[in-house]
Amino acid sequence: MSSEVFKHFEDYVSFLESKDPTTVINTLRLVGERERKKKYITYSKNVFIPLCNWCRNFCGYCIFRRENYKLMKEKEVKEMLLKGNRYGCKEALFTFGERVDENPKIREELKKMGYESILEYLYHLEEWCLNNTNLLPHTNCGLLEYEELKMLKEVNASMGIMLENSSERLMNTIAHRNSPGKDPKKRLEMIENAGKLKIPFTTGILVGIGENSEEIVRSLMDIRELSEKYGHIQEVIIQNFRSKRGIPMEDFKEPSPFKILKVILVAKMILPPEVSIQVPPNLNRETGQLFLLAGVDDWGGVSPITEDYVNPEAPWPEIETLREYTEEVGYRLRERLPVYDRYISREWLSDRILNKIYNIKKD
């Protein structure tokens, strides 16, 4: 489809910068032709585990990081996992700030708990999760090295990290100037390492943090290149910046729905057709339905019991509300696992994860 209208990098950039509604309408029509056979919009019913809310990064748009951090105790995590299991959740989303081990207080606290590192603690919790619930772990905790990814692959159905943007220029802006872990080279390297290890992977871009149109297109093309090389990227999140009280970027203007619509259309044309495009429904309550018409086919993780700790001001919609929301547009809502069906094989998953999935499906 993209070759019919957009042949070069500059074409995508021009489209993002265009104010001509006819161009957008015609592109929507082309996407609609491609999406005609689509019947379902998927989501993952999850429980959100914010294991620790300290981080070495000071991102200008983040409200998750706390200097007076909390490191969740084992009992608390297990209770949350068991509650999620009772509610029929299938995904345990484990997240924490990047490189929390750099904080000496956290290292000491972990040591008192009997762990040498946060990843050792995480592995133990995810192993317990697999042995005692029907939840499948998915980890997103910032930059990880090759060997760390390899270790966690054993107890994770999928993993992820937001690229956010490929632009090194943003490292000198309010968004990332105090965030060494947001170096795009390092993030792209991690995404590539996940591909080498055959880890089903989620990534995405963050729109509205000071990037320009060229940087959006380049970011999507970088993701496409890695996806075509390794085949491991199962979904790409198009996430809109949301202003929050007290953050350094509090006065930044949020991207308009029209801008997000155009980014979704560009993503649909750039990314391989098998890669799902996701928008968070809690950040797009008023506009999410319209984005389905632009090619969005996944709502991501939605929790019936835990909040979105990264965006606490935006509660999840009730799943039944999300179902009505989806069906009104003409699609059916379908629950999925945190790993997409095409990756459920020994080529992509550890024996432990694969056997767990077979048991879940059997039940």
Task: Enumerate the known binding-site residues for [4Fe-4S] cluster.
Answer: 55, 59, 62
Cα 291 from Cα 207, distance rounded (Å): 15
Count Cβ atoms below 10 Å from residue 77 Cβ, excluding itself: 22
Closest CA relative to residue 157, chosen from 134, 124, 182: 134
Contact 91, 300 (CB under 8 A): no
What would the 3-class secondary structure string for 229-282 be?
Answer: HHCCEEEEEEEECCCCCCCCCCCCCCCCHHHHHHHHHHHHHHCCCCCEEECCHH
Cα 317 from Cα 282, distance rounded (Å): 6
Cα 126 from Cα 139, distance rounded (Å): 9
- Tokens 């992820």 — which residue? 160
Contact 164, 216 (CB under 8 A): no
User: Residue 59 is encoded by which pair of tokens?
Assistant: 């991102």
Contact 203, 172 (CB under 8 A): no
Angle at 234 between CA 140 and CA 51, to 5 degrees: 15
Residue ranges of the annotated binding site are: 55, 59, 62
User: Residue 36 is encoded by which pair of tokens?
Assistant: 């005609």
CB contact set of 35 (below 8 Å; sequence gap of 6+): 295, 297
- Tokens 């969740």 — which residue? 72
Contact 202, 248 (CB under 8 A): no
DSSP string, 97-159: -TTGGGSHHHHHHHHHHT-SSHHHHHHHHHHHHHHHSS-EEEEE-S---HHHHHHHHTT-SEE
